[in-house]
Amino acid sequence: MRKIKVFDTTLRDGEQSPGCSMNLSEKLEMARQLDALGVDVIEAGFAIASPEDFKSVEAISKTVERCKVASLARCTQGDIDAAWNAVKGAKYPRIHVFLATSDIHMEFKLKMSREQVLESITKHVSYAKSFCEDIEFSAEDASRSDRDFLVKCCETAINAGATVLNIPDTVGYSTPMEMFELISYLRENTKGIENVDISCHCHDDLGMGVANSLACLQAGATQVECTINGIGERAGNASLEEIVMALKTRREYYQMECGVDTHQIYKSSKLLSSITGVPVSPSKSIVGANAFAHESGIHQHGVLANALTYEIMKSTDVGIPENTMVLGKHSGKHALRDRLSQLGYELTKEQLDDVFNRFKALADKKKSLTDSDIEALALSNTHGVSETYELVSHMVTTGTDTPNVATIKIKKGDELIEEVAMGTGPIDAAYKAIDRITGLDIFLDNFRLNAVTDGEDAMGEAVVKLKAGKNLYTGCGLSTDIIESSIRAYVNGINKIVGGI
């Protein structure tokens, strides 16, 4: 079996996806999970992009135990300096330098000739090498580059000290056969390529990111670049979970393996979705809610007879438990802790106490709690937000030809504060009352409601994006009452603002 290295760029390319930005504490939490997942490389960010990006890359570099940590850098001295200063605290640092090599990029974006591009590669890969042994060079828009020129760029990067060559399908333009042929051509024609790792980075604009990545691996690439849930620029990146499970499920066909702990896949997916507030489609491969669900009578009969009739992999392989133990209001803390452990969540005593209190409150409203309910409670507890403001109670009146009025009572320290406000709807009224309590100048940038469980008593998850100054903060709230979940999301977002998280 050929060993494949997994390069995760969720925290860099993935975070560039609209609506997927993360703050420092959220990035650290995600980085720890990626480390537990067992990826080989974490691309922690683009250090030069902003002071916050630099701090994130630097903090992740000092936190991650097992993975290599990379920072992206353009072919400029300032970018490379920032990248090195951010990753130098890592156990295994990498500088990832990139430069476009396609004619359209060189002419319209770079305003550089081919000769100037080759000179820049030599200069800046060599400069990066003076800081760090592990250097990755990416030929941006490689799939639309002239092949012979691309060979020259790769040879130049190797001669300058690159240890990894990345061949991206930057705009998701290629097909699997074209990517197979491109990697094969480079392997056959590039001097010294046998001494470096060949990487692929495929986008999903035409829905072929995963297929293109697998084709590259079949052609001889040794590293694959991907993201959790396939998030990323435009239509996203190749999905880590789909690539990894394709290699595992069709192991005899691909004759490849990687070091990812597949039992951590579902937890990684849920954590990312919880942090960003971006839900996973129910029909998403591997981690979607319907990936291991069967409604058709024919399918149910087949699965009951033999799961292999309609399931090509076990749900437990990706970390989705098969245990159907019912938890309700008569369950104790021990049973809840065991169920959380089976789901992959290890909480501190304080976190468990908090989850248990909210579990009992929810169990009073629902006859039984599903795994999705338990997970939602656990995830809403693990983001480390200090509760400067705590919702004590709310009351709203609304209806046809009736004023929408909200009465909100919030605890701040030892002080109880109550305000009343009117609005265009019950949630608007509640938010205005909260604004009067906090006195903060904030703007509601986005609001969304999701049903995180099934049935008439489903848990509703509210996700808000709050703008304070130039920064956006994500707030989440959970309740069987969608007005309450909306209020809790708003308060959660405000606590992040005042906590500077």
18, 151: one domain: yes
b/e burial code for range 286-302 (CB count within 10 A of at least 16 → b): bbbbebbebeeeeeeeb
Predicted local confidence at residue 107, as pLDDT: 97
Say if 281 falls within a structural domain. Answer: no
CATH number for the domain spanning 262: value is 3.20.20.70
Domain end (from 249, 276, 303) = 276
Say if 190 falls within a structural domain. Answer: yes
The amino acid occupying position 366 is: K
345, 406: one domain: no
Cα 338 to chain centroid distance, Å, stands at 27
Instruction: Tell me if 226 sits within 8 A of 258, measured CB to CB.
Output: no
State how far the Cα of 73 lies from the Cα of 67, in Å rounded to an integer. Answer: 19
Helices (H) and strands (E) in the chain, counts: 17, 15
130, 262: one domain: yes
Going across the sheet that includes 471-479, the strands are: 443-451, 460-468, 471-479
State how far the Cα of 260 lies from the Cα of 7, in Å rounded to an integer. Answer: 11
Cα→Cα distances 13→72, 100, 475, 501, Å: 10, 16, 23, 21
CA gyration radius for the chain?
A: 25
Q: What is the mean pLDDT of residues 191-197?
A: 98
Say if 63 falls within a structural domain. Answer: yes
364 vs 496: which has the higher pLDDT:
496
199, 269: one domain: yes
CATH number for the domain spanning 429: value is 3.30.160.270
271, 413: one domain: no
Provide, rounded to the nearest whole percent, the portion of the chain with pLDDT above 90. Answer: 70
Side-chain-side CA neighbours of 418 within 13 Å: the count stands at 7
DSSP letters, 137-164, are: EEEETGGGS-HHHHHHHHHHHHHHT-SE
Residue 333 lies in domain? 323-382
φ, ψ at 205 (rounded to 5°): -60, -35
Q: What is the mean pLDDT of residues 229-255?
A: 97
417, 477: one domain: yes
Say if 283 falls within a structural domain. Answer: no
Say if 287 falls within a structural domain. Answer: no
Domain end (from 215, 244, 276) = 276
Closest CA to 60 of 17, 23, 7, 20: 23
Predicted local confidence at residue 72, as pLDDT: 98
487, 412: one domain: yes
User: Into how many domains does the chain fold?
Assistant: 4
146, 220: one domain: yes
451, 466: one domain: yes
Predicted local confidence at residue 454, as pLDDT: 65
State how far the Cα of 82 lies from the Cα of 84, in Å rounded to an integer. Answer: 6
> Residues, the chain, total?
501
Say if 48 falls within a structural domain. Answer: yes
At 371-390, the pLDDT tens digits run: 777 877 887 654 456 789 99
149, 218: one domain: yes
311, 336: one domain: no
At 116-175, the pLDDT tens digits run: 999 999 999 999 999 999 999 999 999 999 999 999 999 999 999 999 999 999 999 999
29, 108: one domain: yes
Structure token digits, residue 337 = 């802790």
Say if 400 falls within a structural domain. Answer: yes
